[in-house]
Amino acid sequence: MQGFSGDQHFSICIRCLGRAYAAIGHGLSNVERGRIHLSESAPVLSENNISIVGEEHCSICRSVFMRMGDFTDLALTKSSGYEFNTFLVGSTFPKDVSDEETFIQGLLGNRGESIRKEFNREAGKALSDLTGKSVDKAFPDMTFHFDLEYYQVKLEIRSLYIYGIYRKNRRGIPQTRWIHQGNNGVSVEQIIGDVISKHSQCENYFLHGSGREDVDVRMQGNGREFVLEAQNPKIRSINLKAVQEEINRSGDISVDDLNFTSRETVVKIKGANHDKSYRVTITCDGQLDPQKFGQAISQLSGKDIYQRTPLRVSSRRSDLIRRRNIREMVLEQISGNTAICVVRAEAGTYIKELIHGDEGRTNPSLSSEYGSQLKVQSLDVIWIYR
Ligand SMILES: [Zn+2]
């Protein structure tokens, strides 16, 4: 604290005096507290050149509580058009106001509450009366940030989080729009996000997937978990059944189990490490030898393999050697130069590299076990063990 001593003169109102005694007495307004403690505080006030004035002349509150209607009008105008069921109020006051308040409350025994706290509470009550909505301190749909210095209010609108699982029925669709921008604007993120955007009138959206499959890999079986985050939605009570039907009409991807959720689910599904099963179609330049091929498969089944960061992703990931367990590898079909296998592997296994060996960077690989170079013709995720 600095600057408040000696010949300085302050004028405060009964409410701001009462706020200095906020810790004393239940069920009282600060105005009532001010009246109760007026005579008791009089000697300290006069000793420190503090006079009691009306709110319109108070150097702390500067009549903000008398003008509460102006602030709530501002908030309601700004938020008109946005659906919300719960809200919270925050505020910032000029620093000299807080300093002066802290100084005066110090003189009166440090038993007060801040003007911010009273303002937030009173604005909360007023907005609640006007809108019929309730205050939620944990997950408010809407937060009103009042800036008392510049007489403005900023809105913070909680994103809508929609959980679901998706299946990708066609190859060539990236999961998100940012990493494959040349893809004619089609991604899992956009197919889902555009529909949710239309229903919620959000400004932007992001797909948070529980891992991702490559562009050329289909996602089948029980599907992949995701959370679609819709930012600054105008409409929150969207019909998820209608959303689901509309997304599924595209045919390229389908979604299921859509539910409203929270940010915590994003963290949870992003951190998940599940085994996955794949169906992979493998080819060879020459005819495949079924017996030799079967032996190579059983060599890898249940074994650990070592994978250096694949060449195809090495520009964006650090070069490490990862040990991964191939839980099980089963041959489904073999004829001519083509074989179909089902592989269940630990999370994070690079399946294409497991087959072709990535120029020796994955070791052992099916190619090294078989003794000839093998290629992946197609790959599908067929189950995520969650
Ligand atoms: Zn005041």
Tell me which of 86 and 177 has the higher pLDDT: 86
CA atoms within 13 A on the CB side of 289: 10
* Residue 285, CA distances (Å) to 254, 336, 360 in order: 36, 10, 19
Distance between CA atoms of 254 and 330, rounded to whole angstroms? Answer: 28
- Enumerate domains of the chain plus CATH numbers: 10-68+89-124+144-154 (no CATH), 160-270 (3.30.70.2510), 276-384 (3.30.70.3190)
Q: pLDDT tens digits for 302-359?
A: 999 999 999 888 778 888 999 999 999 999 999 999 999 999 999 999 999 999 999 9
d(CA 130, ligand 1 centre) in Å: 24
Does residue 134 surpass a pLDDT of 90?
Answer: yes
pLDDT, the chain, mean:
94
pLDDT at 26: 87
Could you tell me the distance, in angstroms and rounded to a whole number, from the CA of residue 132 to the centre of ligand 1? 28
Q: Does position 177 have pLDDT exceeding 90, yes or no?
A: no
Q: What tens digit of pLDDT does each residue of 184-243 get?
A: 668 999 999 999 999 999 999 999 999 999 999 999 999 999 999 999 999 999 999 999
Residue 1 pLDDT more than 50?
no
Q: How far is the CA of 144 from the centre of ligand 1 (A)?
A: 22
Instruction: Give 280: exposed, middle or buried? Use CB within 10 Å, 0-12, 13-18, 19+.
Output: buried
Rounded to 5 degrees, what are φ and ψ at 67?
Answer: -100, 20
Please report the DSSP string for 357-375 in residue order: -GGGTEES-HHHHHTS-EE
**Entry pTM:** 0.87
CA 15 to centroid of ligand 1, rounded, Å:
6
Q: What is the DSSP letter of 26?
A: S
How far apart (Å, rounded) are the C-alpha atoms in residues 177 and 253?
15
* Active-site pick, 136, 214, 252, 289: 214
Q: Is 358 a catalytic residue?
A: no
pLDDT at 9: 86
Per residue in 248-288, pLDDT (tens digit) is 998 999 999 999 999 999 999 999 999 999 999 999 999 99
Task: Judge whether residue 361 has pLDDT over 50.
Answer: yes
**143-168, pLDDT tens digit by residue?**
999 999 999 999 999 999 999 999 99
Question: Burial of 273 by CB count in 10 Å (0-12 exposed, 13-18 middle, 19+ buried)?
Answer: exposed
Percent of the chain with pLDDT over 90: 90
Q: What does the alpha-carbon distance between residue 5 and residue 48 come to, in Å, rounded to a whole number?
A: 8
Q: What is the CA(76)–ligand 1 centre distance, in A?
A: 25
Residues near ligand 1 ion, CB 5 Å cutoff: 13, 16, 58, 60-61
- For residue 384, how far is its CA from the centre of ligand 1 (angstroms)? 62
113 CA to centre of ligand 1 in angstroms:
13
Q: Token match 């555009």: residue? A: 194
CB burial class (10 A; 0-12, 13-18, 19+) of residue 52?
A: middle
Q: How far is CA 28 from CA 33, 115, 238, 384, in A?
A: 6, 16, 42, 59
- Summary count for the chain: helices (H), strands (E): 11, 16
Encoded amino acid at 108, one letter: L
**Least trusted range by pLDDT, from 68-77, 172-181, 317-326:** 172-181
Q: How far does residue 17's CA lie from ligand 1's centre (Å)?
A: 7
CA of 142 to the centre of ligand 1 (A): 28
What per-residue confidence (pLDDT) applies to 4? 57
Strands 276-284 and 321-335: unpaired
CA of 332 relative to ligand 1 center, distance in Å: 81
Q: How far is the CA of 124 from the centre of ligand 1 (A)?
A: 19
